[in-house]
Amino acid sequence: MTTATTGRTTPLGAVGTSHTRVEGREKVTGTARYAGEIPFADLAYGWLVLSTVARGRITSVETEPVLAMPGVRAVLHHGNAPRVETEYQGMIGPPDPTTTLFQTDRVAYLGWPVALVVAETSEQAREAAESLVVHYEQEPHDVDFSGDRPEARPVDGFAPGLIEKGDLEAELAASTHVVDTEYTTPEEHHSMMEPHAAAAHWDGGRLEIVDSNQSSTWVKNDLAKMFSLEPSAVRVRSEHVGGGFGSKGVRVHQVAAVMAATVLQRPVRVVLTRRQMFSLTGYRSPTAQRVRLGADADGRLRALEHRSVNQTSTVHTFVEPSAGVPRVMYDAAAHHTANLVVPLDVPTPTFMRAPGEAPGSFALESALDELAVRCGLDPIELRVRNEPDRAPLSGLPFGTRNLLGCFHEGARRFGWADRDPRPGVRRDGRWLLGTGVAGASFQAGAGPSTALATAEPDGTFTVRISAADIGTGARTALTLVAADALQVPVDRVRVHIGDSDFGPAMFAGGSMGTRSWAWAVNAAAEELRERLALGSGIPPEGITVRADTTEAISRLARTERHSYGAQFAEVAVDPATGEVRVRRMLGIFAAGRIVNPLTARNQLVGGMIWGISMALHEEAVRDRATGGLYAADLAGYHVASHADVPHVEADWIEDDDPDDPVGIKGVGEVGIVGAAAAIANAVWHATGVRHRDLPIRPDRVLGARAAGAPDA
Ligand code: MOS
């Protein structure tokens, strides 16, 4: 049943067929419990107090009146909280000082955590926290982000800061067509449904944490380092997660719960409010991006520059590597890309679905649309003429790259061939109509993981891996992978996830979760099947096999491995009100082998919907006077809702990663990439006006029309 060359299970089995979520019934009936609602005996409740100034020093905390309030058991702050390690290498680097709570009297931004009130009930804790008086020595703050800040510096993050090839000015001068444009994207927030929540307690010398996270391995290892504990003395569980999108790593709620549980020697839970999440759980930095493209008369690129500036906090650096997009997508004789960072008195940004690619693709894929108009070329034809046969800067061969296949199939299904390229000429009553297209890519990586597969005496199988299902359907996908590797029906396999005691595993991030875990699950299950084939009986405790992919992943061939996509959008614009409605979207992807079409489609469509939201709705606005956000809640921060989401279709073409045992690449992030650009390009096609600043709000549409003639 397996092919000889790769050891891959044939598609005769479960992988590639649609399955509803194995925990779906539990979730829709409310029996699936989330971290904020799992009961504990003798539980106390912690409530965080955040700074009301954007920069300065805490001079005093008036704890006495609050300690006298009903039910209050403790007030932790920089003057009395347990000391922790603040300098260590965590799973993704050194800690953000935001998370190493209460170790300093410095306040780095508005919404900085200054105290934790612990009480017998959540209501008592909240009442007391809101009564706590904290005195500050306030200092002038600076939250004024722009692309022109002179202190902006290229910084290496998880992508290099600066990569330059060739003589940019010379190639621009030699170009027939030049585009030189600036784009901005605003501060955006993850806004997942389930707030961050954790309960911590000590159980016979072992620290137990029930959490909502994207990796129990990550949280366990980092907390062990922060609190100077043996890793084996910490257990983190996270069974169900109501969304993460990059925000649910190590955050203040876990640390606060551990500190309070340690001080009080009883279980303590800390749940963040939606407002607290706006300053404590990361966000996507605003970006200011300049793109310069130079092309020959036939549209072939000679010069490509992409420079992106983002903000970070003064205490920790996060780079939103938007200029990374052209390093994979397009080549040119002169190819300059830079990711620059400006530290300000703002919270630290973090990974948010397609970090870099989401804002970067908006700028680059918009600029290419502008270049196509200059060249008099169809935007898809422009991409055909600029399709590289090797990775532009690394020179590495591509693994599989089916970008043009996505454009081809998408154009056929969207009806692109009949498109009139002229802008501003189609009407449906009061609406102006237009269509737009953009390309997408996202890296396909894998991280080491361990998995346990057990043959039970009753003929069923149990798989254990510290994976995180943040809504992706990972648990279900792994069930299908295990069933195929074991060559048994799906209903004989149970997969348990979200427990650091199952051994180290990759985080749910970078679109690498399912691929990384499936690799380990596949390896453990295949080895178990081989063991069982030897024919010995199964003892009462079962037979367990453990697999660790560290070695196999280190031997991966060096190629540029990415998922690709082509995004198509049709919009209607009301010139009287400035309202933009997306009428339909189609995304065609080449994203490796699709394990579960039902949940994979859900991921891709979810990303595309977020692209609509990014293009038209989402924007967190910072108030220069206070340094905080206006309307830091889901009434003031607009995300696309049902009425904003029309017919959205996602599909894929054949693509199979030859280097992956299951053929997976990953679908978590590529769905948002290029989506906002496709919509912005469609708005241009509808109106003749370029929108280079997101979101494309009604006032911007009206303002641009009032400002004058359509631009080309
Ligand atoms: Mo994702 S932004 O890698 O959780």
| pLDDT tens per residue across span 259-299 | 999 999 999 999 999 999 999 999 999 999 999 999 999 99
Q: Ligand 1 centroid vs 507 CA: distance in angstroms?
A: 9
Using the atom order of ligand 1, give the atom closest to the CA of residue 669. Answer: 1
For ligand 1, atom 4, the nearest C-alpha belongs to 246
Share of the chain above pLDDT 90, in %: 95
Best residue among 158, 190, 506, 669 to mutate for probing ligand 1, ranked by most atoms within 8 Å of CB: 669
Q: Residue 12 is which amino acid? A: L
Tokens for 655, please give them.
């693509």
pLDDT at 207 over 50: yes
Q: How far apart are CA 674 and CA 608, in angstroms?
A: 9
Beta strand 334-343 with 301-312 is parallel
Q: How far is CA 701 from CA 453, 465, 616, 706, in A?
A: 57, 49, 11, 9
Q: Ligand 1 centroid vs 506 CA: distance in angstroms?
A: 12
Q: How far apart are CA 370 and CA 117, in angstroms?
A: 54
Using the atom order of ligand 1, give the atom closest to the CA of residue 351. Answer: 2
Residues with CB under 6 A from ligand 1: 214, 244-246, 351-353, 355, 509-510
Could you read off the pLDDT of 509-518 as tens digits, one per residue? Answer: 999 999 999 9
Using the atom order of ligand 1, give the atom closest to the CA of residue 246. Answer: 4
Q: Ligand 1 centroid vs 248 CA: distance in angstroms?
A: 9
pTM: 0.97
Length of the chain: 712
Using the atom order of ligand 1, give the atom closest to the CA of residue 248. Answer: 4
Could you read off the pLDDT of 378-419 as tens digits, one per residue? Answer: 999 999 999 999 999 889 999 999 999 999 999 999 999 999
Catalytic residue among 188, 239, 305, 669: 669
Q: Ligand 1 centroid vs 214 CA: distance in angstroms?
A: 9
CB of 99 within 8 A of CB of 114? no
Could you read off the pLDDT of 318-367 as tens digits, one per residue? Answer: 999 999 999 999 999 999 999 999 999 999 999 999 999 999 999 999 99
Give the dihedral sign, CA 344/349/354/355.
positive
Best residue among 92, 353, 469, 514 to mutate for probing ligand 1, ranked by most atoms within 8 Å of CB: 353
User: CA dihedral defined by 262, 266, 267, 271, rounded to 10 degrees?
Assistant: -70
Q: Residue 146 is which amino acid? A: S
Q: Ligand 1 centroid vs 382 CA: distance in angstroms?
A: 31
Is 151 one of the catalytic residues? no
Could you read off the pLDDT of 31-41 as tens digits, one per residue? Answer: 999 999 999 99
Using the atom order of ligand 1, give the atom closest to the CA of residue 354. Answer: 2
**What mean pLDDT do residues 174-179 have?**
98
CB of 172 within 8 A of CB of 294? yes
Q: Ligand 1 centroid vs 301 CA: distance in angstroms?
A: 31
